[in-house]
């Protein structure tokens, strides 16, 4: 297949294909832990807040480690690790106000944490105990959505609901609300995500599209999903896009906070591309050695989202050994909570499912329930 033998490159008459290949990356904290400034985005919280982020990052990573271990031990069916994406999730999750609403994929354990969801609820899903064990209205955190991209439209619709409820642009900071919709780099290829962009643009919906570009969709690299940098997708739908260092929790926080505020004020949608890296396998079922080289991983390890925050806190003398030790201990307790909670989790009753299909039960399902109950009862003698 030869695509290269062009006699004259007519590219120029149409102008460049996209805005250039080396996009700006908003960064406020370097991999070495140095604070840097950005002309447009400022981080306006103090070191105490950064210590809070540090705690979130470490605990989130511990959730991930423990869940991975539980999966290896057969306690979970599968686990989707967020290793490497902690800053993208904590930075964005912490930028949310209580009245904002987040729509996750299946990997947003850090956002769940920031929204106050007990991580045991996440484990329940991956254990196969339920398909979504929390109430979206508590913590304003939607259920995990596995079909790639589907939630981007739900998020947009929810944002249109906020508009109809009159909680946009009132100027009341306790009231004005926005939506954040998460998805991955691979998801940007799905029709649904692009339709969400259309809708959000046309209706000026109060939504932030938060794309974690972790460079991979299982084994497929980002080059196979888009020829242009992802954040540039937004302009063609009529709203701004920005690329942020997804491993820099300060920058992610600052950019997300500004985009959310923009949405709450009624100025419409924003696409944030958090440039990050999936340091682990796609899930515990995956074997990334089949498709990527280890030096890529190594280069990203140098940009680890947690170590730079620690380096900063240490350099600033904002945190001492006790602080770090305290968090380690908290992490150990959390891990123990997860482990014991997971092992203690009861299986659901197979008879429950018949009542969960509809709000208004049907005679047919009630009959299936009763027949199945009778059927199960018919074995009771045998097994006794």
Partner 1 sequence: MTAITIAKGLTMGLRAAMEADPKVLIMGEDVGKLGGVFRVTDGLQKDFGEDRVIDTPLAESGILGTAVGLAMRGYRPVCEIQFDGFVFPAYDQIVSQVAKIHFRSRGRVPMPIVIRIPFGGGIGAVEHHSESPEAYFAHTAGLKVVACSNPVDAYWMIQQAIASDDPIVFLEPKRRYWEKGELDEDAEPDPLHVSRVVRPGTDVTVLAYGPMVKTALQASAAAEGEGKSLEVIDLRTLSPLDVDPIYESVRRTGRAVVVHEAPVNLGLGSEIAARVTENCFYSLEAPVLRVGGFDTPYPPSRIEEEYLPDLDRVLDAVDRTLDY
Binding site for ligand TPP (CB under 6 A): 107, 146-148, 183-187, 214, 216-218, 278, 282
> 165-204 mask for a second copy (x: CB under 8 A)?
-x-xxxx----------------xxxxx-xx--x--xx-x
Catalytically annotated residue among 19, 35, 72, 291: 291
**Beta strand pairing status for 220-221 and 216-217?**
antiparallel
Q: Does the footprint of a second copy cover residue 99 (CB under 8 A)?
A: no
Toward partner 1, which CB reaches closer, 23 or 132? 132
Q: Which helix (DSSP H) or strand (DSSP E) does residue 217 occupy?
A: strand 216-217
| Active-site residue, 291 included | yes
Burial of 108 (0-12, 13-18, 19+ CB in 10 A): buried
> 147-186 mask for Mg ion (x: CB under 5 A)?
-------------------------------------xx-
CA distance 129 to 6: 57
Those residues with Cβ within 8 angstroms of residue 31's Cβ, 6 or more apart along the chain or in another chain: 247, 302, 303, 304, 308
CA distance 24 to 275: 11
Structure tokens at 95: 């930028």
Q: Which helix (DSSP H) or strand (DSSP E) does residue 179 occupy?
A: strand 179-184
Measured in degrees and rounded to the nearest 5, phi and psi for residue 213 equal -85, 90
Do residues 14 and 277 lie in contact, with contact meaning Cβ atoms separated by under 8 Å?
no
Among 85, 105, 152, 270, binds a second copy (CB under 8 A): 270
Taking the complex as a whole, how short is the minimal distance between the CB of residue 277 and Mg ion, in angstroms?
9
CA distance 296 to 242: 24
| Active-site residue, 131 included | no
CA distance 65 to 181: 25
Catalytically annotated residue among 107, 282, 303, 308: 282
Q: Does the footprint of partner 1 cover residue 129 (CB under 8 A)?
A: yes
Identify the DSSP state of 26. B
Which residue of the chain is nearest ligand TPP when measured via CB?
184
Toward ligand TPP, which CB reaches closer, 220 or 376? 220
> 231-270 mask for Mg ion (x: CB under 5 A)?
----------------------------------------
Structure tokens at 310: 């620690």
Toward a second copy, which CB reaches closer, 133 or 206? 206
Do residues 174 and 99 lie in contact, with contact meaning Cβ atoms separated by under 8 Å?
yes
Q: Does the footprint of a second copy cover residue 2 (CB under 8 A)?
A: yes
Taking the complex as a whole, how short is the minimal distance between the CB of residue 302 and partner 1, in angstroms?
25
| Active-site residue, 278 included | yes
Interaction partner, residue 216 (ligand TPP, a second copy, partner 1, none; CB < 5-8 Å by kind): ligand TPP
Q: Which stretch binds Mg ion (CB under 5 A): 139-147, 208-216, 242-250, 296-304?
A: 208-216
Vertex 186: Cα angle to 180 and 192 (nearest 5)? 60
Q: Which helix (DSSP H) or strand (DSSP E) does residue 242 occupy?
A: strand 241-245
Identify the DSSP state of 232. G
Toward ligand TPP, which CB reaches closer, 107 or 109? 107
Catalytically annotated residue among 109, 115, 278, 308: 278
Binding residues for a second copy, rule: CB under 8 A, are 1-11, 13-19, 40-41, 163-164, 166, 168-171, 188-192, 194-195, 198, 201-202, 204, 206, 223-228, 232-242, 258-259, 261-262, 265-268, 270
Binding residues for Mg ion, rule: CB under 5 A, are 184-185, 214, 217
Residues annotated as part of the active site? 278, 282, 291
């Amino acid at each position: 297949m030869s695509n290269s033998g062009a006699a004259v490159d007519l590219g120029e008459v149409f102008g460049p294909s996209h805005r250039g290949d080396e996009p700006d990356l908003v960064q406020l904290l370097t991999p070495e832990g140095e604070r840097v400034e950005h002309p447009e985005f400022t981080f306006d919280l103090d070191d105490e807040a950064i210590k809070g982020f540090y705690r979130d990052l470490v605990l989130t990573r511990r959730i991930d480690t423990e869940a991975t271990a539980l999966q290896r031990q057969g306690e979970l069916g599968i686990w989707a690790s967020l290793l490497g994406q902690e800053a993208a999730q904590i930075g964005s999750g912490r930028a949310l106000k209580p009245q904002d609403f987040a729509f996750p994929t299946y990997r947003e354990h850090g956002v769940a944490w920031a929204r106050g969801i007990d991580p045991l609820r996440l484990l329940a899903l991956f254990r196969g105990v339920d398909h979504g064990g929390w109430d979206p209205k508590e913590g304003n955190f939607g259920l995990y959505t596995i079909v790639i991209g589907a939630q981007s439209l739900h998020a947009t619709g929810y944002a249109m609901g906020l508009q109809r409820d009159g909680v946009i642009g009132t100027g009341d900071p306790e009231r004005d609300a926005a939506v954040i919709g998460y998805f991955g780099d691979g998801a940007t290829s799905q029709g649904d995500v692009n339709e969400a962009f259309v809708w959000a643009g046309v209706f000026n919906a109060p939504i932030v599209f938060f794309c974690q570009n972790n460079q991979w969709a299982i084994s497929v690299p980002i080059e196979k999903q888009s020829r242009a940098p992802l954040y540039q997708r937004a302009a063609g739908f009529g709203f701004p896009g920005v690329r942020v260092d997804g491993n820099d929790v300060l920058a992610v926080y600052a950019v997300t906070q500004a985009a959310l505020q923009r949405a709450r004020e009624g100025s419409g949608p924003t696409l944030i591309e958090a440039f990050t890296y999936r340091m682990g396998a796609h899930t515990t079922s995956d074997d990334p050695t089949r498709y990527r080289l280890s030096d890529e991983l190594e280069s990203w390890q140098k940009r680890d989202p947690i170590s730079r925050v620690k380096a900063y806190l240490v350099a600033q003398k904002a945190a001492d050994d006790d602080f770090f030790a305290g968090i380690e201990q908290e992490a150990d307790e959390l891990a123990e909570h997860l482990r014991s909670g997971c092992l203690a989790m009861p299986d659901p009753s197979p008879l429950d499912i018949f009542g969960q299909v509809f709000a208004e039960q049907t005679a047919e399902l009630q009959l299936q329930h009763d027949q199945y109950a009778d059927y199960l009862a018919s074995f009771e003698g045998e097994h006794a």
